[in-house]
Amino acid sequence: SFDQLSSCLSINILPDSILQFIGEYLPTSSRAMMASAVSRSACFDSDALDFSDIDRDLASKLTDSDMSSILVSIDAVNRLRVLKIIGCTNIS
């Protein structure tokens, strides 16, 4: 059935090592957004986060809530040394 298939295909069952491997192909800002989307910090392994490497249209749509979710999901307080929010014009 569809319910059985959808539960088998959930990204949430992937081990951290696979998420880290996938994250290696993404810019750090995309890794941080991925970590937020799947609620797993394993996707993000950097001490710097620079939003200038994502599309300006997307960066301009990020809200305070989006940014908060991203920063909490990667444990930014303890992990980040550098945060650049260039292009994130919709946050206060």
Taking only the tens place, the pLDDT of each residue in 50-91 is: 999 888 899 999 999 999 999 999 999 999 999 999 899 999
CA distance 49 to 83: 5
Contact at 8 Å (CB) between 53 and 28? yes
Rg over alpha carbons for the chain, rounded to the nearest Å, is 14
* In the chain, % of residues over pLDDT 70: 90
pLDDT beyond 70 at 3:
no
Tokens matching residue 31: 């890794």
